[in-house]
Amino acid sequence: MILGLDVSTSITGICILDNNKNLILSDYIILKKGKDIFEKGEMIKEYLTKIKKEYDIKEIVIEKSLQTFRSGFSSAKTLSLLASFNGLTSWFCYDIFELKPEYVSATSARKMAGIKVPKGKKGKEVVYDWVVHQNKMIEEELTRTGRPKPYMYDQCDAIIVALSAGDNDVL
């Protein structure tokens, strides 16, 4: 089985696919209640330990953390925190499953799935549409205002990351 993770310090998306890349589990962990990277890390560690008991994971793919600045996006502090948390999550994966994770950028994962993001559109929204509406891989969950619940984007990203398994770099 393949474990795909979209790692973030607020919500981490989780996906498990079988060896034929059929969806087994799509889930998320809300980490906002964790006071710091260590409490959030413990939440991830507990969830991964639970997965280890329930699923025979043979491959792990994690979305690469952002590496460069983009105008209007993350600051150096945020990029550093995300890279640290991604490293911590990677270590938990290695320690718990005894597997070295593969890493894929969001852009590469989308490309491998055949998803094209039109100019002016947001990648997360295009991925959401592909997973939820076009391929009906997971059920849509909306807020009372009719927008997708925030964790839906993380779940969809984790699915795309998992689908890219086998074609990525191992650090």
pLDDT tens digit string along 86-109? 989 999 999 999 999 999 998 899
Task: Read off the amino acid at residue 132.
Answer: V
Which residues span the domain enclosing 92? Answer: 2-170
Mean pLDDT of 41-56: 96
| Per-residue buried b or exposed e for 30-50, using 16+ beta carbons within 10 Å of the residue's own CB | ebeebeeeeebbeebbebbee
* Residue 71: pLDDT over 50: no
* Residue 16: pLDDT over 50: yes
Count of domains for the chain: 1
Q: Read off the CATH number of the domain in which 113 is found.
A: 3.30.420.10
* Residues facing residue 27 across a β-bridge: 14
Joined together, the tokens standing for residue 52 give 């280890």
* Residue 132: pLDDT over 80: yes
Joined together, the tokens standing for residue 93 give 């994966």
Q: What is the pTM of this model?
A: 0.88
Mean pLDDT of 149-158: 94
Q: Are 24 and 79 in contact (CB under 8 A)?
A: no
More confident residue, 171 or 83: 83
State residue 69's pLDDT score: 44
Q: From the CA atom positions of the chain, what is the Rg in Å?
A: 15
Cα dihedral angle (73, 77, 81, 83), rounded to 10 degrees?
Answer: 70
Task: Read off the amino acid at residue 3.
Answer: L
Confidence of residue 75 (pLDDT cuts 50, 70, 90): low
Mean pLDDT of 109-123: 89
How do beta strands 169-170 and 11-17 pair?
Answer: unpaired
Joined together, the tokens standing for residue 19 give 């060896």
